[in-house]
Structure 1
């Protein structure tokens, strides 16, 4: 897919989304681009908040959405430049500078001219104003993102960082070409490239610790000035931190206090007291000089341990006016030069090991969790029923890694790509955050879903990790089909709400998750011996009319409750994040129509079907394990046997299985033996076994 094809598909997606959801094309465009940037970890989340008005001296104000990153208190404000014309156009520097002024005026009017008096109190824009006013003393940076369906002029290289009332303001243009580059990137996110020679004449001194021979990585020990680390963080913010551990890092408040004390009271001892940071990069450029080796630049730089150290240095310099000139930080930098899947696996292993001094669950490293891999495998294997007169079945494509769907198409011919899209249509792409929203809504956690993609996914990952440890067989084809049914329900309710006369273009995401959660709650309380028959939705690949009619009633009641003036918190967006909000919604006096019984199934029957699905998964898991063990071959297991004996890795439970594997093909391990062997293999890898 080239750039022109990408733009054409983007515009088509905007038009179809606007038509399906009954919203303006500009709003659809902002929502789609924001979703791209959330998945690429440029934005922590997204809240739609359209406002178009005037301030003092009749100056124009405009906002299309926002996202407050509570990790580093960057306020992201979004403004759109959408025309929707198939003809390509160019956004000039002067046009961009003019548009950038609109959200800045919005901020100024909010703080200095009582803009809240002009805005409807129950609108999303009013919530944004409230968030700006409440967090005025915390916000460290404003980032203005201009979304355009045109192309940025070649004369635009960058926009100078400005200040508003002493706070840094950064400007970014996200045009079609910049979005396209995200999809071309192997990591599925915008690559962070740092030129260290711009900060120091020779770059950053380092010691190359790589072993001789062919390895998928090189490692360097570095000493990075505290000032430089803070400046890099100020420029890139939380984008610099590897996403899978970011939410984990942000909870360790006590660590922040200790680091801050050292920065302020003993900066010269920082190197000795602090564990330093661990980072990865896809490319490291080294310059050899008579004085030694220096790192001049890195590509796709990510900090995978030491996020609190990095953020604390920046915070101390900003809030406490701390002098960082005496501070040096040790850094371990690993260059990963391998394919996409191997890169993810290696990053996760480094991240897990680097964070071993803290208690970190498997949920914190969810991208390589076995659940993730299994759902991907099922999604590639199982076909969804054909719909709409189509003569072929299709897959629901589950994205285990960012950008996987587009990466799969990059090296295809046009004919191959057409076949791929016929079998994996874009509207049947489901991401891990999509799955988390749909599942957590049905689980009765709308207040968690309302907290945003990152917080919601973290909770979902922890639940999966807990359930997996009890019985991984529960995550099977039936679970996948139910998940797709819930996602279909989620998307259906999204469209349904926009068509209602009472809908006022605000809080749709909150209304959707609360409505689905309330439907599940009402079914459980009013029909305790029954549950929703997800197979009906899966088989038809659509939501039955009886559910649609019921959801119209439920969604209206939810909307009225969320926006009720008597709510405990005036800010609707913040109110929806509270469990008290959910407790209040659950008390709504609603009764389901008796027609709903046609889509319910007896609980005992559902349990019977689930039991069969678990047995089937157990058999599949055994076959997969057996295949993997046999493919490794007897010599592999003989070498492993020697390794675990030398390392004194306990393996008495697997001893018989290992003996059988070493005798292949005379003897073959069964599925039970094979699963034991794979468990032993994982323990051996933790002890340093890395032979493939």
Structure 2
């Protein structure tokens, strides 16, 4: 309970600072912070704030946000309501308190389907836009998901419970309370309730074949899952079944496949021989012996790492081929991976299972070399104190959820004060933040507007492709310039709500569009935005801030004035056409803006200097490693390589120099070559050390 109280205290302080700095309501800051967790956890694909409240008592209507166009998420309409209490201590609520919070949201949903309700509202009203979206898409809605987000602790037992249907459309609700957010922020996990009990839910355990020996490092099983059961499981838990770190990557392939659908509809008995099946992981399984043999009675935290398209297509069969589903069966390879090993094991399972994908799914995991390198920079690179501040500081890159809170939590009170000076909370950023900073600066605000996970998927794809060719671009200077982009993005986030033209709403869209516009206009054939000055000062120059806010005002106008026939501004901001509309507008930033630019050749000189410096450091590091390993080690490597005929004459010559230390000392270039030979021999399985 102490950890939860500390989490609540820190959460309220963070929300208070965000609200004060940006001039927004605390509940709005709470919504932004917590819905980011919802998308990362797979509860929703995207979360757009759209606050509306009217009436009192039994007539009260309320909504705080929605999960985008249901046509983009297999017909799931997600609606969000906030239960925010401004209190110093942890408050609680039970199952009996849920109805008074959810009923206004349900009433809103019923009203929103009525054209008379919609037409009585101003088109700029968020309620008008949600109502219009619901009316337009209702025929394609397959499920309504109500999400209750609270900063109180829920003491009820029920979650993700199915409610009454709305004209044959099932309605579910789930609670994300303070304790659940705390678990997620600390460990990246909030799935304790995702337990599939085959005995209770489907009448009997699922027959299985154990595919691992007793005492094996990992348990593995082969199962034949009935299509009806898989469809029902996905209907209940949806995207939460898709591995969190590659969710967006897999969901891009989760749309129903026409070929798979045709097999389900016309030849369901041939589905099993035609389909490759699923690869999945779980935290734990419960096994039993039945009259028919070995079986699995329950699975904890099932995650599908390959087979999202198959799963989505079978789920679609609930509507398109319900009578054929009983004849559909799919094979599943299930591996039990303890949570503490998931970061190492699951990416490899996903990578090898997704061999048909051009970009490996492993590129999306937090242990990809790109993320590890950025994390290392974030722990080492010091930035000079801002004007008026006394302490230099660093930016903390959280490549895995929970790193920051856990690193701080292990320290004494005195050490925490030192940690807070070294890594201010305002300088914490995640993988999805990194992707927002990068894409906002490279002309992709419409992608950023599609939500943190979809934007990250696009960014990761680009990084994966570039990294596979060469990783040299992502050096320390690249990291410092990334932080310059972060400084710009965060400054805009704080300043936009203070502007006289800001009417509330669409802040996230305005920020990314304004930043993209200024970068687009600044970066030309001869000049680019001077990012190096920004990271050195850790501040946005006044002339640049004026330019950013001028672009923000223009972005606000473009976003809130969509073309005829387009009514939903949040959905409009996700379109390339919206970005084209802003990109083509001429803005006068004033003469002082030229002082924010630098000649492209000067920027390139900095890049060359950084690469030369890195090469020099790499050479020194390689020489140090060769010397530290000692001549005896290199004599063994030389002998092994010669015996297996794996060395070129040059390899043998340089390894001979290393083996003759201290009589001869290898140069930096020779040392780098020796390290490369060692790496090559490791890959070939000739050496292990």
TM-score normalised to structure 2 length: 0.89
Shift of 1:431: 0.8
> Is it true that 1:576 corresponds to 2:577 in the alignment?
no
CA gap 1:624/1:475 in 2 versus in 1, 3 angstroms: farther
Other structure's SS at 1:161 match: strand
Deviation of 1:202 after TM superposition, in Å, equals: 5.3
Residue 184 (structure 2) aligned to one of 178, 182, 186: 182
Which residue in 2 is equivalent to 1:129? 131
Partner of 1:482: 481
Residue in 1 that maps onto 2:234: 233
Matched-pair contact (CA < 8 Å) for 2:350–2:362: no
**Gap regions ≥5 residues in structure 2:** none
The 8 Å contact of residues 635 and 655 in structure 2, kept in 1 or not, is answered as no
C-alpha distance in structure 1 between counterparts of 2:337 and 2:629, whole Å: 25
Q: Secondary structure at the match of 2:566?
A: coil
Q: Is the 8 A contact 1:143 1:170 kept in 2?
A: yes
Q: Do the aligned residues in 1 keep the contact of 2:347 with 2:362 (CA within 8 Å)?
A: no
Match of 1:295 in 2: 296
Q: For 1:408 and 1:562, locate their aligned partners in 2 and report how far apart those are by CA, in whole Å.
A: 40
Corresponding residue for residue 273 of structure 1: 274
Whether the 8 Å contact between 2:496 and 2:552 is mirrored in structure 1 is: yes
Distance 1:306 1:157, change over 3 A: closer
Unaligned 5+ runs, structure 1:
none
Cross-structure match for 1:19: 20
Secondary structure of 1:122 counterpart: coil
Query: Mean alpha-carbon deviation: is it higher for 280-289 or for 576-585?
Result: 280-289
In structure 2, distance between residues paired with 1:82 and 1:253: 34
Q: 2:416 and 2:540 mapped to 1: Cα distance?
A: 30
RMSD: 3.5
User: For the Cα contact (< 8 Å) 1:626–1:675, is it kept in 2?
Assistant: no
Cα deviation code 1:165-193 (max 9, x no counterpart):
21111111222112112234465766733
Could you report, residue by residue, the CA deviation over 1:618-644 in whole angstroms, capped at 9, with x for unpaired residues? Answer: 445566677889999988998999899
2:75, 2:140 within 8 Å by CA — same for their partners in 1? yes
* CA distance in 2: counterparts of 1:565 and 1:131, whole angstroms: 15
Report the Cα distance in structure 2 between the residues aligned to 1:187 and 1:641, rounded to whole angstroms.
49
The equivalent of 1:355 in structure 2 is: 354
Per-residue deviation, 1:248: 3.7
CA distance in 2, matches of 1:362, 1:640: 37
TM-score normalized with structure 1 length: 0.89
1:35 aligns with 2:32: no
- Tell me how far apart the structure 1 counterparts of residues 52 and 86 of structure 2 sit (CA, whole Å): 20
**Partner SS state of residue 607, structure 1:** helix
Instruction: Note closer, same or farther for the CA distance 1:560–1:653 as it changes in structure 2 (3 Å cut).
Output: farther
| Partner of residue 120, structure 1 | 122
Residue pairs, 1:489-500, within 5 angstroms: 489-500=488-499
| Partner residue of 2:152 out of 150, 153, 171 | 150
CA distances 1:65-109 after superposition (whole Å, capped 9, x unpaired):
111362433222111121202144332433311221112222211
Match of 1:468 in 2: 467
| Aligned counterpart for 1:539 among listed residues 524, 532, 536 | 536
- Say whether residues 1:65 and 2:65 are aligned partners: yes
Give 1:662 shift: 13
Which residue does 1:601 correspond to in 2?
598
Give, in whole Å, the separation in 1 of the partners of 2:61 and 2:635: 68
Deviation track 1:472-509 (CA, whole Å, cap 9, x = no partner) reads: 21111111111111111111111111001111112111
Contact 1:233 1:314 in 2 (8 A): yes
Query: How far apart, CA to CA, are the structure 2 residues paired with 1:424 and 1:635?
Result: 41
In the alignment of these two chains, the number of paired residues is 679
Residues 463 and 672 of structure 1: is their aligned pair in 2 closer, same or farther, counting only changes over 3 Å? farther
1:573-624 alpha-carbon deviations (Å, 9 max, x no partner)? 2222222222221222212211112222221111000111123334455666
User: What SS does the aligned partner of 1:367 have?
Assistant: coil
Q: Which residue of 2 aligns with 1:401?
A: 400
Partner of 1:524: 523
SS in 1 for 2:257: helix
Is the CA contact 1:183–1:189 (under 8 Å) kept in the aligned structure 2? no
Whether the 8 Å contact between 2:375 and 2:399 is mirrored in structure 1 is: yes
- C-alpha change, 1:462 and 1:624, in structure 2 (3 Å) is farther
Residue of structure 2 equivalent to 1:591: 588
Secondary structure of the residue that 1:77 maps to in structure 2? Answer: strand
Report the Cα distance in structure 2 between the residues aligned to 1:172 and 1:156, rounded to whole angstroms.
8
Would the aligned equivalents of 1:119 and 1:125 in 2 still touch at CA under 8 Å? yes
| Change beyond 3 A, Cα 1:513–1:322 | farther
Contact 1:364–1:458 at 8 Å: present in 2 too? no
How far apart are residue 513 of structure 1 and its match?
Answer: 1.1
Aligned CA distance change for structure 1 residues 53 and 294 (closer, same or farther; 3 Å): same
Say if 1:296 and 1:575 are closer, same or farther in 2 by CA, change over 3 A. Answer: same
Deviation (angstroms), 1:353: 0.7
After TM superposition, list the pairs within 5 Å mapping 1:102-113 onto structure 2: 102-113=104-115
Distance in 1 (CA, whole Å) between partners of 2:209 and 2:656 is 42
Change (3 A) 1:93 1:188: closer
CA contact (8 A) 1:568 1:575 kept: no
Matched residue of 2:265: which SS?
helix
- What is the SS of the residue equivalent to 1:142? strand
1:299–1:467 distance in 2 versus 1, CA, 3 Å: same
Displacement of 1:119: 2.6
Contact 1:473 1:617 in 2 (8 A): no
Q: In structure 2, how many angstroms separate the alpha carbons of the residues matched to 1:289 and 1:301? A: 22
Q: 1:674–1:468: structure 2 CA closer, same or farther, 3 Å change rule?
A: same
